[in-house]
Structure 1
């Protein structure tokens, strides 16, 4: 099978406005990858006939198979068919089987079928009409000028049914699909994107199959390994080989795969070690505690949190000596360690963790914005305390502090 270029066009002004998240394109891409088909473009376009026509015209020039979701409904702003007719000159006709199905649906539900509903039975002359087992509007496949156009409703449930039951069998037969695409995400923490790329420079420069794609996110980085092969087993073997080469170089930073995140990984380690924790939070304002309880099973390991933003709160809620705060300040190693020790004692947890610092916009105690102390008081009352200087606004500083705490926990617990 020669390389078939595919693209996905999602139609709907509501997608552009952010009122609806475009999950259709991601789902279709995953299904196509299962059959070894590469997606080259994702496009979102509003309900405007001129712009739709322009997007369709461009897609026709660059892709072999074009998937369109949305714009097949009964209202006047459903213009997908009209836009395609502008570039193909194909007549639009009624599909009698669809029309009959619609009439039966409305009669069964004791509803009057308005004239505009008939629009959903519009198909192109000579097209293949795709059955919709969970809705009314059919899908349509049009083969025109050596290009394949697949039109499906925008409703995810209906699109998925048509794609699974009708489109994939059609594509498998037409293109004799004999390859699969498989991806694996390797997740790293404690190493920056630039350092990771530098360490793996030779592997990345010489990548062929599988490909290696670095992906950065807040406080961590990932590598997506993607292989194309005749079957799943062969693709996985190709990925295994490259992963082994990667882990020989930077394996000490690898913490998980695919959908696993660092928060869940740390919680799993806490459970494995039968450890409980409590948090004392100043600048983070309870963000760490919130991130813990977002995960199922946190109740067995999380004892509680003390949000002690003001010095008075640190003195009263955590019983920290006012003389310590006067001498060292609230943004200090000494304060951070007193907080982690006291919260552990008060909540009777195995481990205490604390956050204190300056989120901004102004300095505190002559400490620069972004200065953060994070302290872990272990079950044997040993302190693991670090000072950081984070960049960004208040929200960014707080988020980075929480992420860094998970990094500290991970490396402390995995030994």
Structure 2
């Protein structure tokens, strides 16, 4: 079954609110085996809404509406759809009684326009609104299914999860749910990962592979339709095995988690501790780590030594290392090593991690924007320093540097 989501509301077009309903509904419909091919946003205009219905009906079996069920004159969804289908509107008495009871309990006068929320399209199944007043509708007409849901997410989600889903299931024929597994990668860019897996992506039939990226991380969604979770797992496992053969060194999780969460899990499993010393990243690494709930058991703390003075004072990096003729400078392999070693010793941690470099917008110490050194000091092992030449703006360089450093730490923990 092909579906189209039609979000109704001028406030969406003006950017006054974000259409989070579409994301939720797309995921929900996929779990029911319904493919969402289009998403439309239309304002509170009867002519344009009618046009959206006509276009949607020509290319989808199911139209799911959100919004336009309220009490005001610009809440037009039921009126326009009923007119388009040459159907009337009737009062849903239980919904009307609920509205009247609410106003009476609050000692408020109910204006006539509130009756609009209790109106239902002729022949439609009324869908109970457990958190609001506007009744939803489920309707089949001329071979097309129409599902009308409220716009506010606090009303839409409970209705969709309850009466809306029940109505859809009663109208589905042989639809198989979609099962997906998210694979998370680090240390490799989206284009390089795609090139590594290009023949698998181009030749995909079932399961399907869909790569997408965030800064410093890449994900691949492996999806299939199946009659059961066990049947889906067999197909997904086979696809994942082929991906691991090509890119296993970059695959840090088979679930949708950031790499810092996986690092905390590995630290906890091995009963080891981490400390950080940051310059270029200004505490971003520590922030990501401490965003993971319970990370205080594995992350002992960090220092932001942004200036040479603080590198010397807090980490005992010699000034002769940082400044003066012939000095390596703060942005150097040797300084990164010293920062990692000193913070590990200072905290009594198993790992010390450091970052120093140039985020821009201008050169520093005569060194180019994007040059970053990352130090990793591990108890009982020689300190390792990695050099990175990163592109992008200031914020992007900092994020990419931190994620690259976390990837190297993950490799050490995995091994």
- The C-alpha deviation readout for 1:230-276, integer Å capped at 9, x for no partner, is 22221222112222222223223211123222110011111122222
Q: 1:52 deviation in Å? A: 2.7
Corresponding residue number in structure 1 for 2:26: 29
Unpaired runs of at least 5, structure 2: none
Alignment partner, residue 173 of structure 2: 176
**Residue matched to 2:397:** 397
The 2-side partners of 1:183 and 1:121 are apart by 38
Aligned equivalent of 2:283, options 279, 283, 286: 286
Range with bigger deviation, 128-137 or 328-337: 128-137
How far apart, in 2, do the equivalents of 1:246 and 1:354 lie?
32
> Per-residue deviation at 1:40?
1.0
Q: CA deviation at 1:90?
A: 2.9
CA contact under 8 A between 1:37 and 1:180: conserved in structure 2?
yes
**Which residue is equivalent to 2:109?**
112
Post-superposition Cα deviations, 1:202-251, rounded to whole Å, max 9, x if no partner, equal: 32222111111122221222211111122222122211222222222322
Match of 1:128 in 2: 125
Aligned to 1:272: 269
Give runs of ≥4 in structure 1 deviating > 6 Å.
Answer: none
Provide the TM-score with structure 2 as the length reference: 0.93
Q: Deviations over 1:355-379 (max 9, x none)?
A: 1111111101111111111111111
Give CA-to-partner distance per residue, 1:317-342, whole Å, 9 cap, x none. 22211111121011111111111122
Query: Could you tell me how far apart the structure 2 residues matched to 1:399 and 1:66 are?
Result: 40
Query: What is residue 302 of structure 1 aligned with on the other side?
Result: 299
Quote the Cα distance in structure 1 between the aligned partners of 2:13 and 2:294: 37
Greater shift in the superposed pair: 266-275 or 163-172: 163-172
Are 1:230 and 2:227 an aligned pair?
yes
Match of 1:348 in 2: 348
* Mapped partners of 1:385, 1:179: distance in 2: 50
Q: CA deviation at 1:409?
A: 0.6
* Cα separation, 1, equivalents of 2:166 and 2:291: 40
Decide whether the 8 Å contact of 2:138 with 2:167 is kept in 1. no
Q: Deviation of residue 397 (structure 1)?
A: 0.7
- 1:296-348 Cα offsets, whole Å, 9 max, x none, are 11111222221111112212222211111121011111111111122222233
SS in 2 for 1:385: strand
Residue number among 87, 98, 105 corresponding to 1:90 in the alignment? 87
Higher deviation after alignment, 296-305 or 77-86? 77-86
CA–CA distance in structure 1, aligned partners of residues 174 and 100 of structure 2:
38
Distance (Å, rounded) in 2 between the aligned partners of 1:184 and 1:18: 32
Q: For residues 15 and 215 of structure 2, what CA distance do their matches in structure 1 show?
A: 23
Alignment partner of 1:333 is 2:330: no
SS in structure 1 of the partner of residue 281 of structure 2: coil
In the alignment, what sits opposite 2:369? Answer: 369
Task: Give the Cα separation in 1 of the matches to 2:268 and 2:18.
Answer: 35
Structure 1 CA distance for aligned equivalents of residues 186 and 161 of structure 2:
37
- Looking at structure 1, the residues matched to 98 and 201 of structure 2 have their Cα atoms a distance apart, in angstroms, of 54
Say whether residues 1:143 and 2:144 are aligned partners: no
Match in the other structure for 1:216:
213
Q: Is the CA contact (8 Å cut-off) linking 1:36 and 1:177 kept in structure 2?
A: no
Corresponding residue SS for 1:328: coil
Distance 1:236 1:33 in 2: 17
8 A Cα contact 1:171 1:177, kept in partner: no
Q: Determine which of 151, 156, 163 is the counterpart of 1:166.
A: 163
Please list every run of 5 or more consecutive structure 1 residues that lacks an aligned counterpart in the other structure.
none
Q: Distance in 2 between matches of 1:164 and 1:285?
A: 43
CA deviation vs aligned residue, 1:15-35 (integer Å, no higher than 9, x gap):
445554433223322332222
